[in-house]
Structure 1
Amino acid sequence: MKEQTSFYTYPGRYASEHGELEQYRASYRANISCKEVIEHSITAHYGNNRLDPACVKQVVEQFGHERVFYVLANTVRQKDFDGRISHDNKAWAKTIPVCEDPDGFGGDRNVYFVVDRPPHTGLTDLFLTQVRKAYDLEQEKKPSVRDALGKASVQPAQTTAKTHKGQER
């Protein structure tokens, strides 16, 4: 069952100024929920020094790629110092826009949806790698719009016009 909360990309201050606090709060709660489901999924699917790829499917089906990517990019950015996160995943995280969201006391609200429960940050890195691979495979399976348009223009148009006897021009 997919989480139905829309993804809100602006910080709390912006939401407050533009009358969008409810959307912000709902999306923020969904980010925290996504983080918790990721943590639970990693814990449940890790065994024998292996992370079962089924955990990725479960989380993505529930929250969608956009929110999962946002939570994971935020996590990697918050743990940029950690050497257990691959350079590829750190570089990828910088390509995902994550808004700074300071609270009224100068703290960072984004720390509340940092994946940090698995006993080892390396498992979070492995999970992220699997999410990215699954996404890439999914994108390869989808036909591109360009290909679909190309196939449509190559196929000859079928005409249904019939000529009747006695109709000559």
Structure 2
Amino acid sequence: MRETYLYPYSAEEACRRGEQSLWRASYLENIDCKDAIQKAVRQHYDGDHLDKKCLTEVIQEFGYKRTAWVLANTVQQLEWGGQYSSENKAWASQIYIPPDKLHNLSFVVPTRSAVLDGVVDQYRTAYRALGLFGPSQCEPNSFEDLNYEGKVLVLSSDTLKETYWTPQAQLWYVI
């Protein structure tokens, strides 16, 4: 899997932070990921059926985080004219993509929205298969009690490198 950092801010914010090189490397990687998704669709869609392994190589090469970023950006940018399921629209809206009209369109996957909806379904299925803990397995409002001593904490997968994306790696006992 490629190791380019997924930069979470806009180009404008990167300039303010002096992190233009990080942003640019991530931006170019987003475009490469978009191209890989487009190529995978061409190879795995026969005009009527999308092969179940369409995203396998993309996820292996770019990882879950970047693949999600590019797919969510595509749905967000094209939501107004797309045939996306309400579940996929809701999923995409939960991923924060910083507004950047000049650059975000550069990594929109150019394929029919109905086909891309199937690709997003495949991504979400592959992610769920990892069995990671999510907000639904946590105590609501548990952040209000700051005394975590003697408790098991669940770290968000977003805080972990993908090489540690296992349910076991998410659990931490506070001494």
* Greater Rg by CA: 1
Match of 1:139 in 2: 131
CA contact 2:82–2:113 (8 Å) conserved in 1: no
Report the CA distance between 1:68 and its aligned residue: 0.7
RMSD of the TM alignment (CA)? 2.1
Q: Which has the higher contact order (CA 8 A, sep 6+)?
A: 1
Cα distance, 1:24–1:88 mapped onto 2, change above 3 Å = same
Instruction: Give unmatched runs, 5+ long, in structure 1.
Output: 103-107, 150-169
Counterpart residue identity of residue 53, structure 1: K
Alpha-carbon contact 2:8-2:98 (below 8 Å) kept: yes
- In structure 2, the partner of 1:156 is none
Q: Percent identity?
A: 35
1:111 match: 105
Residue identity in the other structure for 1:114:
V
Please report the TM-score for the alignment, with normalisation by the length of structure 2: 0.74
Q: Secondary structure at the match of 2:4?
A: coil
Could you say which residue in structure 1 is the equivalent of 2:135? none
- The residue number in structure 2 matching 1:129 is 121
Confirm whether residue 22 of structure 1 aligns to residue 16 of structure 2: no
Q: TM-score, normalised by structure 1?
A: 0.76
Change (3 A) 1:148 1:125: same
Structure 2 CA distance for aligned equivalents of residues 80 and 31 of structure 1: 19
| Unmatched 5+ stretches in structure 2 | 133-164
